[in-house]
């Protein structure tokens, strides 16, 4: 049975901390044996997720907390982003029209393009638990 790796990182909801979290996730993904395509996907998807938490869930309040949990096993990598702010309204989300250049709205779209699974769990009493999953098989089958 493949070894299970698990790590956590807690950051404050400041834009300046997003790069630190990206680098942490990239390092962990690389160490878990994923290729550079997956490292890029995890890094960018996490950056987009955190930017949305900082701007929308916490409305720019930089004193709040975001908890990141990364679990890797023989099958996949799962990165969970837990915030305690305003819940993400999935019903109001519409993907961007890629035929029209837009000044925003690409973040969630990119997360879905880059990761194998993107799941918003709004069931906690406070905030949202966002899970980003990348399968190892994606390395083989693209």
Partner 1 sequence: MEIKVERNGAVVVVAVTGDVDAATAPRLREQFDDLLGEGQHKFVIELSEVGFMDSSGLATLVQLFKRVRIGHGDVRLSGTQPEVQRIFELTRLHRVFDIFPDRAGAVASFD
**Site residues (CB under 8 A) for partner 1?**
14-16, 18-19, 22, 40, 43-44, 47-48, 50-51, 54-55, 96, 98-99, 101-107, 109-110, 113-114
Closest CB to partner 1 among 33 and 96?
A: 96
Closest CB to partner 1 among 46 and 70?
A: 46
Are 66 and 82 in contact, with CB atoms under 8 Å apart? yes
- Which residue in 106, 116, 59 sits closest to 83, CA to CA? 59
- Shortest gap between Cβ of 46 and partner 1 (angstroms)? 10
Closest CB to partner 1 among 43 and 128?
A: 43
CB atoms within 10 A of CB 17: 17
Walk across the sheet containing 5-12 and list its strands.
5-12, 65-72, 76-83, 128-135, 117-121
- Shortest gap between Cβ of 17 and partner 1 (angstroms)? 8
């Amino acid at each position: 049975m493949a070894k299970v790796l698990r790590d956590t990182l807690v950051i404050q909801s400041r834009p300046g901390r997003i790069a630190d979290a990206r680098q942490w996730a990239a390092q962990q993904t690389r160490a878990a044996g994923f290729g550079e395509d997956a490292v890029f996907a995890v890094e960018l998807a996490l950056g987009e997720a955190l930017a949305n938490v900082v701007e929308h869930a916490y409305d720019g309040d930089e004193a709040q907390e975001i908890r990141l949990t990364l679990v890797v096993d023989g099958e996949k990598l799962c990165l969970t982003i837990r915030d305690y702010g305003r819940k993400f309204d999935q019903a109001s989300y519409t993907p961007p029209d890629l035929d029209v250049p837009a000044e925003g709205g690409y973040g969630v779209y990119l997360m879905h393009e880059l990761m194998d699974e993107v799941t918003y769990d709004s069931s906690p009493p406070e905030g949202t638990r966002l899970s980003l999953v990348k399968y190892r098989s994606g390395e083989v089958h693209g």
